[in-house]
């Protein structure tokens, strides 16, 4: 039996959270090692498993994979969540790149000084309402199907749900003008693997708080 | 789609998001490795290159008082993080290409990046003999050689003026 994938990161969302979502949605069990000290992190760098000296790191199938998107693409393909052909794949790539951009803005925002952070997060909500969510609402409207691409559950659906939930944490009313996205959110949340991941006790991480920010600053020294 | 460019019309589609476009072309033209594992390696390498390239393409747009610090940062990352990683990959297998002993997008994108970096500071490749050799080898591929000649569709790095124009047009 193959070893479980092992994730190396901080005990929090950051760039690893999308990877956790994808593995969980695919029903894949995974292990995690969390950095608590700078020394642990430096040891990993010295071991030579971090190609560019950075995390996330996922050990899977005999590889030490870094770079979030490289990891996500590999997992999506491996677990058949990447469409049936090149044309479906490029659509999934377009959609996930967009949602990842949106979530990355939130990730970066929490590390800024308070006034700037609030401005950034407000701008994310605005971007979600005016740029990103209208696009996905239209996609669902145009084909009338349950999933974003190819009438089949894919990485694009998982990532959109993750992004919706993250933005709702900033503004609970953000889906008020998007009825299809509301229905989508309910539908995808009820998929058994995802439903399980959304329950307390799963490996899903809570929103970043000041403790998380301080921990990351300490370990990455910035 | 997300009110942004680049946008490429191809095969009946309007593609946006640089990565999606590059992934599509690389797959379509067999420059993405032979299997999933090679693709993962290629993705890891090109994502690292994209991080560094992002710093390089915005460099001309920095105000003069910030330029020295930004250039120092680019140099530091290039010499201490990115070039050593790629030099080590080439050394570890001793092959002509980064992945699978075959030309892939990783080689093309790395050589593109090397050219950009050398425009900022020609000495950056000084201590990386295998990267220099890769650059020469890839530059001599007939299609690449043609692209590197005057009159091709290759574009120069954006100037400060061009970036100022873009700021106005895109309002950022």
Output DSSP code: residue A131: I
The tokens describing A181, both together, are 């996205």
Q: What was the ipTM of the complex prediction?
A: 0.93
Q: What is the pLDDT of residue B72?
A: 95
pLDDT tens for each residue of B82-114? 999 999 999 999 999 999 999 999 999 999 999
CA distance A222 to B18: 29
Res. A1: pLDDT tops 60:
no
State pLDDT tens for residues B36-78: 999 999 999 999 999 999 999 888 888 889 999 999 999 999 9
DSSP state of B102: S
Q: B105 CB near a chain A CB, below 8 Å?
A: no
Contacts of A87 in chain B (CB under 8 A): 11, 13
Residue-wise pLDDT for B26-41, tens only, equals: 999 999 999 999 999 9
Question: Cβ A73–B37 below 8 Å, yes or no?
Answer: no
- Looking at chain B from residue 40 to 59, which residues have their Cβ under 8 Å from any Cβ of chain A? 40-41, 43-45, 47-48, 51
* Residue B17 pLDDT exceeds 70: yes
By percentage, how much of chain B surpasses pLDDT 70?
Answer: 100
Q: Which residues pair with A31 in a beta bridge?
A: A6
Summarize the confidence of residues A193-203 as an average pLDDT: 97
Q: Which residues of B touch A67 (CB under 8 A)?
A: 43-44, 47-48
Which among A61, A94, A98 is the top mutation candidate for probing chain B, defined by the most B β-carbons within 10 Å of its own β-carbon? A94
Task: Quote the CA–CA distance of B19 and B44 in Å, as a whole number.
Answer: 13
User: Could you tell me whether strands A57-60 and A63-66 are parallel, antiparallel, or unpaired per DSSP bridges?
Assistant: antiparallel
Looking at CA atoms only, how far is residue B25 from chain A in angstroms? 10
Task: Please report the pLDDT score of residue B168 as a whole number.
Answer: 84
Sign of the dihedral defined by the CA atoms of residues A60, A66, A70, A76, in that order? positive
Q: A76: distance to nearest CA of chain B, Å?
A: 11
């Amino acid at each position: 039996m193959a070893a479980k994938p092992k994730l190396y990161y901080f005990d929090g969302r950051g760039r690893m959270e999308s990877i956790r979502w994808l593995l969980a949605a695919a029903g894949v069990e995974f292990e995690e090692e969390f950095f608590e000290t700078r020394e642990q992190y430096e040891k990993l760098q010295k071991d030579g498993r971090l190609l560019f000296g950075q995390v996330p790191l996922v050990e899977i199938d005999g590889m030490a994979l870094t770079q979030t998107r490289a990891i996500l693409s590999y997992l999506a393909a491996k677990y058949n969540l990447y469409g049936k052909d090149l044309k479906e794949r490029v659509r999934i790539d377009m959609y996930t790149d967009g949602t990842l951009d949106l979530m990355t803005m939130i990730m970066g925002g929490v590390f800024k000084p308070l006034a700037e952070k609030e401005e950034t997060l407000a701008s994310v909500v605005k971007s979600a309402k005016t740029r990103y969510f209208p696009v996905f609402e239209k996609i669902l409207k145009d084909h009338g199907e349950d999933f974003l691409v190819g009438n089949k559950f894919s990485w694009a659906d998982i990532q959109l749900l993750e992004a919706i939930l993250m933005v709702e944490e900033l503004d609970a009313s953000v889906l008020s003008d998007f009825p299809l996205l509301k229905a989508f959110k309910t539908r995808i949340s009820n998929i058994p693997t995802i439903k399980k991941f959304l329950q307390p006790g799963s490996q899903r991480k809570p929103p970043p708080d000041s403790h998380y920010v301080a921990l990351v600053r300490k370990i990455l020294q910035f | 789609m997300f009110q942004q460019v680049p946008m490429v019309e191809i095969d009946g589609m309007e593609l946006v998001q640089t990565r999606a476009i590059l992934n599509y072309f690389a797959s379509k033209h067999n420059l993405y490795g032979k299997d999933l594992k090679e693709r993962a390696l290629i993705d890891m390498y090109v994502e690292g290159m994209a991080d560094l390239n992002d710093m390089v393409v915005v460099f001309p747009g920095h105000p003069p008082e910030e330029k020295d610090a930004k250039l120092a940062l680019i140099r530091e990352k290039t010499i201490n993080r990115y070039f050593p990683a790629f030099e080590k990959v080439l050394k570890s297998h001793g092959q002509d290409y980064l992945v699978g002993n075959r030309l892939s997008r990783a080689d093309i994108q790395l050589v593109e990046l090397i050219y950009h970096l050398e425009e900022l500071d020609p000495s950056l490749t000084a201590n990386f003999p295998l990267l220099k050799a890769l650059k020469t080898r890839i530059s001599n591929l007939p299609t690449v050689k043609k692209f590197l000649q005057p009159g091709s569709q290759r574009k120069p790095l954006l100037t400060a003026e061009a970036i100022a124009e873009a700021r106005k047009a895109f309002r950022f």
